[in-house]
Structure 1
């Protein structure tokens, strides 16, 4: 009750009114200082009247202007123009701290909700989903998989082709196309990934010159890195023949390492094989197409992006 009484105190109300209307009070006083000395009501000497006028003019041309400027600088025209400058492409392009700026903006969005995980969330989005270290994205990607057979010992043989366009960053003139194969290093397990063809703009790439081999945790990883440069758009073609056992896990995952727009998947198989399709980490799923075709599975992804580590999977069984 004491706090309420203090807020309703006449002096407090007057003080608040002056704060809200300080500009106009200041302006009114300045006008009075200018006009009053010229009236017959002024009892002051001419020198004092002249001094009051000068004070009024100074107040009007400095204090009032500054006060008015301060009161409108974040409204109307000033706010609009300031927003244009700060959010403009040229202003952002000249900044050298865009990752840090993005983190600060992100904190204003969710840090108060999730302070315990905000830093991890920022780093994950910035390093994984924003193309900071990648200078191209993929578009109009077509995956064709032909399953030749699944043996009685549950070993699958299939050929996979991937065709797409790599679209370079508008501010960069080069990038790298990276394709990675991983197989087990267990010699008793039947598993092969043969990269038959790797073409850029129809030109076959010498695979021995672009292959890097790494061994880690029972796996052998073959990394193929092909540089592209000199123009905006490149046609990429890959053809791979795979053989591996389905006994441990009867699925195949294809997850993209680059942001990808527009994907079509077609899988052809024998009538004694069952194939199921599932989405991996997508917000908007692939949709079925060509559903009336026998021994063929077709899916399409449009009107969205597939981000790194997202994609699709296939599971296999014999009928």
Structure 2
């Protein structure tokens, strides 16, 4: 009998905990309304006192503290979760990088606590578009290999065209082309930017060209600001000459997040060309395999992240 009473008492206590807000609210309303009914046995003075107690109960910090103490017990948890995880709430936060670090730390710190900080920084700085206001889409790379001479010097022309899709909020970005040439006078090397078009309008290459020297190499870069609309059509054409004696490969790694890429390489029949993927999760897929002296590859249904791309190796037959 004692155990039965204890169980009943426990159930009542749990019910009161779950419904404490409404119990508190109901008592306060009774204190406000009951003194004004004909059922009240109290004098006008005491009726007024009870009514004031009811109003104080509703508006005092006691009621607020009760709400605060139970807001995470389930009554408001679902609605708070919707607010906190909603896009509007996240968009208004000014600390998203730090928030992402905290979330990622909780994910990987238990598995790899020794490298979690390095992993967070690498992903955030290298793969998240924090420093870019656009991404590239529907990119077509065309490489025409003209010849490889007896000194193993390769000559080829490369065109790249794509759509730059701007950040809808900032609505401005910079399109850049960078090329590196060794400072060694004994090495034959030449990279010549022939054309740089934005929406079909040719740029003055001399006006936008800059250069610097880093680690014994000349770095040439051309930059053009874009703004005012969502999408821009970009076209680049480059003529390259360099020796393959030191390294018989060419790497093309993207510096901007890119979606949908087609690669077409054509070459003479006396040149062997091999295609390989660089750092990709999902590789390029061969297409048009029946064409002679041509390599065609396609990348769909995924993203190519910065520092990822493809490479070519060359040999003479």
TM-score tier, shorter chain, comes to 0.7 to 0.9
Distance 2:138 2:274 in 1: 23
Aligned: 1:169 with 2:163: no
TM norm structure 2: 0.81
Unmatched runs of 5 consecutive residues or more in structure 2: 1-6, 31-41
User: Which of 72, 78, 82 lines up with 1:80 in the alignment?
Assistant: 78
User: Which of 216, 220, 223 lines up with 2:214 in the alignment?
Assistant: 216
Find the counterpart in structure 2 of residue 5 from structure 1.
none
Aligned: 1:305 with 2:303: yes
Secondary structure of 2:141's match? strand
Secondary structure of 1:247's match? coil
Q: State the shift of 1:89 in Å.
A: 2.2
Q: 1:16/1:100 Cα in 2 relative to 1: closer, same or farther (>3 Å)?
A: farther
Whether contact under 8 Å (1:163, 1:237) holds in the other structure is yes
Stretch deviating more after TM superposition (172-181 or 84-93) = 84-93
Distance 1:126 1:15 in 2: 54
Find the counterpart in structure 2 of residue 98 from structure 1.
96
**Deviations, residues 265-297 of structure 1 (Å, cap 9, x unaligned):** 000001111111111111111000000000000
Distance 2:216 2:12 in 1: 77
Q: State the shift of 1:109 in Å.
A: 1.0
Secondary structure of 2:245's match? coil
Q: CA RMSD in A?
A: 3.4
Q: State the shift of 1:82 in Å.
A: 1.2
Aligned: 1:254 with 2:252: yes
**How do 1:92-131 and structure 2 match up within 5 A?**
92-131=90-129
Find the counterpart in structure 1 of residue 292 from structure 2.
294
Stretch deviating more after TM superposition (203-212 or 184-193) = 203-212
Whether contact under 8 Å (1:161, 1:239) holds in the other structure is yes
**How do 1:263-282 and structure 2 match up within 5 A?**
263-282=261-280
Stretch deviating more after TM superposition (122-131 or 86-95) = 86-95
Q: State the shift of 1:80 in Å.
A: 2.7
Distance 1:265 1:182 in 2: 22
Aligned: 1:229 with 2:227: yes
TM norm structure 1: 0.81
**Deviations, residues 36-84 of structure 1 (Å, cap 9, x unaligned):** xxxxxxxxxx99xx9xxx7xx89x98989976885564536x2332122
**Deviations, residues 78-109 of structure 1 (Å, cap 9, x unaligned):** 23321221122222222111111111111111
Find the counterpart in structure 2 of residue 38 from structure 1.
none
Aligned: 1:23 with 2:22: no
**Deviations, residues 101-120 of structure 1 (Å, cap 9, x unaligned):** 11111111112222222221
Stretch deviating more after TM superposition (218-227 or 142-151) = 218-227
**Deviations, residues 236-283 of structure 1 (Å, cap 9, x unaligned):** 000000000111111000000000000000000011111111111111
Unmatched runs of 5 consecutive residues or more in structure 1: 1-12, 35-45
Distance 1:218 1:65 in 2: 68
